[in-house]
Amino acid sequence: MALQYRHELKHEISYADLLAIRQRLRAIAETDPHAVNGSYRIRSLYFDSPGDKALREKIDGVNLREKFRIRYYNNDCSVIRLEKKSKRGGLGTKFSAPLSPEEAQMLVDGELGWMMDSGRPLVQELYCKMRYQALRPKTIVDYMREPYIYHPGNVRVTLDYDIRTGLRCTDFLRPDCVTVPAGDAPILLEVKWDAFLPSIIRDAVQTPGRRAEAFSKYAQCRIYD
């Protein structure tokens, strides 16, 4: 089956932009049903090699690249996902697989023996890359997200802010793991769509004078390394 890549666009925006875009989106789009009072907190743990392959490929603008992370929402460790994000130019796709809290903790602890018998191809792929590329947990990335859905074009618009880094802490499941602001991290507008971006959404997310950016929350959260 062919990979289903989606268009992705990112803009760094100001707080005034956020207020205006939020107001316009609330008039035309739906709030993601998983949001609580319009938003949720995301905690991710990113993997990288000893030579920081994923980070360097992002900084260098490598056209074909990928990164692995595990993630949960709103401090709820009962639902954890392993995800692989793949990028090709301005297009992206994502694969995911469920993890139990015990499996997530074993990943954090470097216990890999269970992975090849998991029956999940993505878990098995990560096992191979942890063995042969020496991928290991690198840093925690926390942030708040306001998600909006517009069904024509399968559009998803998100507003991300309060980006925080776990520094060198990788204890992903500890709710009291200390995180700190990731430098002067911006507010980030992301727009994802399939074949076409409806003009009503294009108009709603307009930010005059701002251009698309190649911003990475993972890279931002590595600034103190």
Which superfamily, per CATH, for 6-220? VTC, catalytic tunnel domain (3.20.100.30)
Q: Is 153 left (phi over 0), alpha (psi -120 to 50) or beta?
A: left
Output phi, psi for 168, to 5 deg: -95, 5
For the stretch 182-201, pLDDT in tens is: 988 899 999 999 989 999 99
pTM for the model stands at 0.93
Identify how many contiguous H helices and E strands the chain contains and give both numbers: 6, 10
Question: In the Cβ-directed half-sphere of 2, how many Cα atoms lie within 13 Å?
Answer: 3
What mean pLDDT is reported for the chain?
A: 91
Pairing of strands 155-165, 136-150: antiparallel
Q: How far is CA 54 from the centre of its chain?
A: 14
